[in-house]
Amino acid sequence: MSKNLFIVESPAKAKTIEGFLGKDYKVKSSIGHIRDLVEKEMGVDIENDFEPKYEIPADKKAIVAELKKLAREADTVWLATDEDREGEAISWHLFEALGLSARKTKRITYSEITKSAILRAIENPRTIDKNLVDAQQARRVLDRLVGYEISPILWKKVKPSLSAGRVQSVAVRLIVEREREIQHFKSTSSYKVTAVFHTEGKAVLKAELNKKFATREEATAFLEKCRTAGFSVSNLETKPARKSPSAPFTTSTLQQEAGRKFGYSVAQTMRIAQHLYENGLITYMRTDSVNLSGTAIGQATDEIKRLYGEKFVHVRQYKTKSKGAQEAHEAIRPTYMNRHGIDGEPQEMRLYDLIWKRTIASQMADAELEKTIVTIKASTADEVFIATGEVIKFEGFLKVYFETREDESDEDAQEGLLPPMKTGEGLTAAEISAVERFTHHPPRYTEASLVKKLEELGIGRPSTYAPTISTIQKRGYVVKEDRTGVQRNFNVITLRGGSVNAEVRTENTGAEKAKLFPTDVGMVVTDFLLANFPDIMDYHFTAKVEEDFDEIAEGKVDWRKLMRDFYKPFHKTVENVAEHSERQSG
């Protein structure tokens, strides 16, 4: 018989921790939640001040029975579930379901699964934080009330077996609204003029005109003017520039970057990150903090000095911007900064490498650049050509890591080393072309850009992004797919060798890769909910509820009061819609 029963959520976590603790500890897993709101009914006693009705699901009864027996035999029960609200709620449910006594129960938290972190947590136990539990209960109860009362209306008014959810419906609204913007978008064209010049030293210089032309006639007239023009460098401006590294990863920035760099879905990123965390390789992966511990910063700077030298070190302490973020928590980082890579599945190795590089880069010096802007004038025109170049003078953090952007374009002007030139130098135009370009509709969301938007609006928290995005696809409101583009003609007018020629070329446009599209059902349900439940579908209202949950977690608001304030007007709307709204079809 072990003196100590140590309970965590997952078998993988249990296995890692078991290696750190001696024979006096028995480490067991609850395999996730062991209690939830009852399935077959509302599960919330509204008359009794929103008292939740919990049950132990059939597939958890054996685990609970085993843990009960072990708890009776142990001197101390350690509840060592995750450090967020969900983890706190699991600990509380274990306390209640196992009939534990406060005298022999200790709650501990840690942000990484390393021997030193676990032993330090054991030395600093606390009691269950009921405020965190209440914030989680409030989310669960409110979501159940919304789902349970609105879904039957959807069955009657739209079609059977549909469901509504407080956060999922708002996420679908974003995708529906974006699709409608795209449907109503009218593309316009203009002519972008670029030139290839030769310097006196016969080097090649690419430049772009500082004006676009609205019509083919205007573009042609400009090229005709250039036929007899002389070109020269009218201004040469060189100025220093700096690039700073991004903050270490939060849940949402990791989901975004893994999506952009590797094409991972949000759920896939979380699955891989969870595995890395449970094996003691990274810190807890559900966080909205960009904070790094003093120890982590110390390890990172030691590593940077060793690998790249003192000049590359720049210690930074990032501040978390998101509301409700807990600074005590840390950003996602490797548990040991001197572990540059890991063995394992290719996806795990890739994600670990990304986290290591991002963390190390966050403590490195700015990259120092030199930006050169060359202005080229034509003797026969008022418009000027601009060439830009960027040279890295000192790599700084770019030696390790470069962040990708969702909206990177292939059409950017030349960036790189420009040939040597001086003001007043004459240039020869080898070719000037005016290419018809079209305005783009707003981009459809990827999973990564949807997470970014939800975070910007304050909707959801690190633990909810992945489940929300999975749910809206599972329910058939949204599909993620590739779509082929269509052929489009465009005009190209070229001045070469003293003559101006026009031709029509074709290109493929509008191809989409792994983008989120609303289904017909998703659009009909969104329209119905917007017309009948404007509050539930309102972005600000949804964000405000998240702030209310944060206040419950901080002990500032009573969760039952939040339920009372929400439910009365909401239920009235439900009754009104059930009685008076029209049946929808689409």
Q: Are strands 4-8 and 76-79 parallel, antiparallel or unpaired?
A: parallel
* Structure tokens given for 355: 């986290």
277 among known catalytic residues: no
- Is there a contact between 387 and 203 (Cβ–Cβ < 8 Å)? no
Single-letter code of the amino acid located at 527: D
Neighbours of 238 (CB within 10 A): 12
φ, ψ (nearest 5 deg) of residue 513 = -125, 125
Please say whether the beta carbons of 182 and 441 come within 8 A. Answer: yes
**Tokens representing residue 554 in the block:** 């901080």
Q: Which two tokens stand for residue 192?
A: 């972008």
Residue 311 to residue 368: CA distance in whole angstroms:
12
Distance of CA 96 to the CA centre of its chain: 35
**Active-site residue identified among 284, 308, 352, 567:** 284
Give CA–CA dist 295/338, Å, rounded. Answer: 12
Beta strands in 127-224 (DSSP E): 189-198, 204-209
| Cα separation, 186 vs 182, whole angstroms | 8
Pairing verdict, β 384-394 and 51-52: unpaired
In DSSP notation, 309-350 reads -GGGB--------STT--TTS--B-BS-TT-----S-HHHHH
| Residues 262, 272 contacting (CB under 8 angstroms) | no
Query: What is the DSSP track for 75-135?
Result: SEEEE---SSHHHHHHHHHHHHHTT--GGGEEE---SS--HHHHHHHHHS-B---HHHHHH
Cα separation, 78 vs 71, in Å, equals 10
Class of residue 22 by CB neighbours under 10 A (exposed 0-12, middle 13-18, buried 19+): exposed
The length of the chain in residues reads: 586
Q: Which residues participate in catalysis according to the annotation? A: 284
